[in-house]
Amino acid sequence: MERVFVDINNLKEFTSDVFQKLGVKKEFADITADVLVSADRRGIGSHGVQRLKRYVNDIKNGRILPNNGPQILKETPVSLLVDGQAGLGQVIGYLTMEKVIEKAKKSGMCFATVKNSNHYGIAAYYSMMAIPHNFIGISLTNAAPLVMPTFGKDMVFGTNPLSIAVPTENETPFVLDMATSTVPRGKLEVYRRMGKKIPKTWATDEHGNPTDDPDRVLKNLLERKGGGLLPLGGAEEEDGSHKGYGLAVVVDILSGILSGGAYGLYVYKEKHPNVCHFFGAINPEIFIPLEELKKNMDDYIRMLKNAPKRAGKDRIYIHGEKEYEKEQEHKEKVSVLKVVYEEMLNIAKEAGCEVELKVIG
């Protein structure tokens, strides 16, 4: 599909302006734009500016109350219970993680569980906020129910991603950032667009049987006819389906249940979706000297990358490495799908946006 290049700063300014024209205060609009553009820079287009329309619609229909920030309901030296007050997920995530890091500087670690927020985009944005402080960062979120439990027929919980970021000395930081379903919904959309069949470990039909037809799954998801995405591992125990299922439930427990918010089928049930998150920052120095952690992380990463390779494979990656390389490549400009670019221009025109989004190649 045709793509166009845009300047990173122009894209951020443009995206922020769209939010500001919808009445979002500049600070919050800038945070949200930065999270979205970061996803594009990291090569996760499915969670980048392509989602602008969805956030704009949710602000217009009152699902998101975009000028609400995080409200602390309960606080100890190592914890926060936060009400997201139906604010923008990116703003609630960013400001909560900022506070978590600030508290970890004093207490060695801090964890926050957040209720009543919205879709926050890529989980790694928040875990990675800990890296410049030389802390380990953790970020989890629940999501709209699209995934079924092992041996289930209908969807009960979300693609519930988790991200853990760990600092290194010279190697690329370790950044695991993954949905706990085999794939997120966006990947089925990509396959449908390309007219390709999907592997049978990704999703089921309305009867709960594995299928290779992405169109059928996506239609069923939309019409809530049954079936849905499979947990990480696929449909069967022998492929480890129950492990992905377990990870997704853990995410729901730490974010949804522990915050007193929504979990499983209750997420996106009411007008305000009540998406819940969990964040953490750990100062490694409460266990070992920072230098030792960083030295051993580098050593471990080299051990993994230098391990013997399977025939036909010449490289072993570390989690976050491919995304880091894309980020370096996209320091100044990034490409977006032409259809996404055109959709953004329409959104901007409707919102009365003043910043022009220019194609630079």
Residue 176 has phi, psi (to 5 degrees) of -80, 130
Distance CA 70, CA 10 (A): 28
What is the contact mask toward ligand NDP in residues 282 to 311, using x (rule: CB under 6 A)?
A: ------------------------------
Query: Does residue 323 belong to the site contacting ligand NDP (CB under 6 A)?
Result: yes
Closest C-alpha to 94, from 61, 74, 118:
118
CA distances from 330 to 2, 14, 36, 57, 272 (A): 18, 17, 14, 28, 35
Q: In the numeric block, which tokens belong to residue 321?
A: 């490495």
- Please identify which residue in 47, 99, 115, 216 interacts with ligand NDP, judged by CB under 6 A: 47
Query: Does residue 120 belong to the site contacting ligand NDP (CB under 6 A)?
Result: yes
Query: Does residue 159 belong to the site contacting ligand NDP (CB under 6 A)?
Result: yes
Q: For helices 8-21 and 338-351, give the axis angle rounded to 10 degrees.
A: 40
Q: In the numeric block, which tokens belong to residue 47?
A: 């969670």
Among the listed ranges 158-166, 194-202, 290-298, 327-335, the one in contact with ligand NDP (CB under 6 A) is: 158-166
Distance CA 293, CA 285 (A): 9
- Please identify which residue in 86, 124, 156, 297 interacts with ligand NDP, judged by CB under 6 A: 124
Distance CA 137, CA 97 (A): 9
- Please identify which residue in 119, 216, 272, 294 interacts with ligand NDP, judged by CB under 6 A: 119
Q: What angle do CA 129, 255, 209 make, to 5 degrees?
A: 110
Size of the site for ligand NDP (CB under 6 A): 26
- Please identify which residue in 179, 297, 334, 353 interacts with ligand NDP, judged by CB under 6 A: 179
* Residue (20 or 38) nearer to ligand NDP, CB: 38
Query: Does residue 161 belong to the site contacting ligand NDP (CB under 6 A)?
Result: yes
Question: Among residue numbers 247 through 266, which ones bind ligand NDP (CB under 6 A)?
Answer: none
Q: How far is the CB of 257 from ligand NDP (least distance, A)?
A: 17
Amino acid residing at 302: R
Query: Does residue 37 belong to the site contacting ligand NDP (CB under 6 A)?
Result: no
Task: Give contact residues for ligand NDP (rule: CB under 6 A).
Answer: 44, 47, 119-124, 141, 143, 159, 161, 163, 175-179, 183-184, 317, 319-323
